[in-house]
Structure 1
C-alpha cells in the first residue's frame, strides 16, 4: 500500500471516529409523546340501545364545509375536523362504527326526530327550542362572530353597525335567529338579510362582495381569518363572541337511552386527554369544557 493511500485511510478512519464521538455526546432526540386515546368500554357498549348494538353502527347526519369543525379533505370524500375526530373516539369507546351521511343543515333535526339517523354533528348549538325535537350531548362552547372582508372597508365594529347593511346568515342557524332579534332594534334602517342554505354558502356571499358582513359561529370565522389560504379575503371584526352557548351532538330520541350513553362515552374521551388533544389539533382550545352535559342549552 502506498504512503498516500495509507494516510487517506487513516484520515477517513479518524473522521469516522470523530463523527461517532460527536454522535455519542449529542443529546438524544426527545421521543414523540404517545397519542392519548380513550379505550373501549364494555360497560358502555352493553348499555347501547339494542338496535344500535346489534347493527354495530351509529349513523351521523352532517353538513360539511365548516372548517375546522367538519369539512372535506382535499380528496373531496374524507371528512376531517374536530367533530370527525371526536366521532371516531366515540366509536372506539362504544365499540361501533360511525357512518356519516350528508345532509342539508336545516333538515338535520327534523330527520333525527323522524328516526332517519342516530346523531347529528355539524356545529349544532343546543337551544331549548331545538330540545323539543332532539336531545343534546354538549361538548363545546362558542358564540357568534362578525366576519367581514379583509380590510373592513365598511368600518363595521359591532352588531349595531349592521343595521341598514346587507348581511348573510346560514338558514336554520342560531345566527338567523340573532339577525331576527337585531332586526327589531334597527328601526328605520333594517338589515338586508340573505339566508344561505349553509353557513359555508353565507361566507361565500361575503367573499363575493354581495354582502358586507356574515354572522357565523366563531370557530369557522376565526379559522378563515387566520388560515394562510383565506386570511387575505376575510377578517374578524373582533374576538368577541356574541351569545355564547353549548355546541352539542344532536341525538335522536327514537333510540331510547342513547343520549346518556353518549354523554358518558364523551366523558371518557375527555378524561383520557384525547378531547384536549383533538381541540388542540384544530386550534379550538378556547371552547373546551370541563364537563360533558346533557341538554344544557337555554
Structure 2
C-alpha cells in the first residue's frame, strides 16, 4: 500500500499520509506512467526546489556541485550510465507536499523528487525520475530498473530483508490545533486528557491515539477520538471548535498549516511524535536493492548536503524543518517486525 495515502495503515509515521525539474547536469526525464512533461533544465551545478509547488513550498535555487570522491563510490554500472534512476510511488493521485502534479498541471513536484535531484547532483548524474504506484515502485527496485526509491519510505526491519536504507528525514506524526490554541504537545499524552482529537481510521496514528485513550481511561481521564470521511470535514470541525486537534502525518499537517496561514482558518503544529512510537524514532530513507553497493554513497551524499547547508534549505523550502536528522545513517534501527 502507498505509504503516503491518508487513512491507510501503511508504515510507521506518516501513515498518512515525480519527473520534473532538473538536476545539476541535465534535465529529468519522465518515467513510464508519470504523465508529466519534463520541466526546463536547471543550470549545471544548481537545483531549483519547490518548482511549480502551487504555494506548498518556497521556490529556492541551490548550488550543488558534483563531489568526485562520492561519485567514485558508486557502482561502476551506475556511474557509467550517467544517470540515477529514482523511483517515486505517487500514482494515481499524488500527495502534497511529498509528490504531486504542480501548478502548471504537468510538472510533478514535491519534497521527495526534489531531494532525489539534489542527491543526483552530488553524484554528477542526470536524475531520471519515474513515477508509479506504490507497489510498482518496489517492483522497479527489485528488478534493477530503478536505482533508488525516494518516496517517503519508512525504514522497517521487515523491509530490510530485501532493501538497504540511507536515512534522510524523521518519520513524524503531528498534532494540529487552531492557531490561537495554546496547547503544546511534547509527546506526553496526558495533555490530551479532556480533549477531542480527530484521526484517520485504520492508520498507524489511530493505533497510537487509541493506546493513549486506553491509558487515560485507566487513570479515570477521558480522551474522545473522532473520525471524519475526508480532510475537509476534519478541518471544518477544527475551525468550528467541534474538535480540539487533528493527529496526522507531519508533512500533511505542515502543508495545511502553510496553506491556511494568514486566514481565519489558520492552524499550527502543537508538537510532533515519532511514527514508530515512544521507544524509536521513525526514519524516512532512500531505499535500494539489498547489497547493490548504492547505500553508502547515498548516505555520504546526504551527509554532504547536511554539512554544506543544502539539506536545511530544502527542508525549509517545504516547511519540513522539524523532520531534519543530524546525520544520514545506513540501515539504522527500523520499525520492529512486530509492528511493520
TM (normalized to structure 1)? 0.64
Q: Which of 237, 240, 253 pairs up with 1:221?
A: 253
Partner of 1:141 in structure 2? 170
Gap runs ≥5 in structure 2 = 1-59, 215-224, 238-242, 335-340
SS in 2 for 1:43: helix
Q: Which of 264, 271, 277 pairs up with 1:239?
A: 271
Q: Which of 289, 295, 298 pairs up with 2:331?
A: 295
Deviation track 1:190-218 (CA, whole Å, cap 9, x = no partner) reads x8989x9xxxxx74685698xx8875321
Change (3 A) 1:204 1:99: farther
Q: Which of 305, 311, 332 pairs up with 1:275?
A: 311
Q: Verify the 8 A CA contact 1:137 1:250 in the aligned structure 2.
A: yes
Q: Verify the 8 A CA contact 1:150 1:232 in the aligned structure 2.
A: no
Determine which structure has more spread, i.e. the larger CA radius of gyration: 1
User: C-alpha separation between the residues in 1 aligned to 2:270 and 2:149?
Assistant: 30
SS in 1 for 2:146: coil
User: C-alpha separation between the residues in 1 aligned to 2:263 and 2:164?
Assistant: 36
Q: Which of 149, 159, 162 pairs up with 1:130?
A: 159
**Deviation at 1:121?**
1.5
**Deviation at 1:264?**
1.0
Partner of 1:286 in structure 2? 322
**Deviation at 1:54?**
2.6
Partner of 2:48 in structure 1? none
- Aligned residue-pair number: 249
User: C-alpha separation between the residues in 2 aligned to 1:107 and 1:177?
Assistant: 23
Partner of 2:72 in structure 1? 46
Change (3 A) 1:192 1:35: closer
Q: Verify the 8 A CA contact 1:109 1:250 in the aligned structure 2.
A: no
Residue 168 (str. 1) matches residue 205 (str. 2): no
SS in 2 for 1:136: strand
SS in 2 for 1:61: strand
Q: Verify the 8 A CA contact 1:146 1:216 in the aligned structure 2.
A: yes
User: C-alpha separation between the residues in 1 aligned to 2:208 and 2:326?
Assistant: 31
1:1-298 matches, within 5 Å, as 37-64=63-90, 65-105=94-134, 107-109=136-138, 111-146=140-175, 167-168=199-200, 176-180=203-207, 203=231, 206=234, 216-228=248-260, 235=267, 238-242=270-274, 243=277, 244-253=281-290, 256-298=292-334
**Deviation at 1:46?**
2.9
User: Which structure's residues are more often helix, by fraction?
Assistant: 1
Q: Verify the 8 A CA contact 1:168 1:206 in the aligned structure 2.
A: no
Change (3 A) 1:60 1:234: farther
Change (3 A) 1:75 1:55: same
Gap runs ≥5 in structure 1 = 1-33, 197-201
**Deviation at 1:131?**
2.0
Q: Verify the 8 A CA contact 1:134 1:252 in the aligned structure 2.
A: yes
Partner of 2:12 in structure 1? none
User: C-alpha separation between the residues in 2 aligned to 1:251 and 1:41?
Assistant: 21
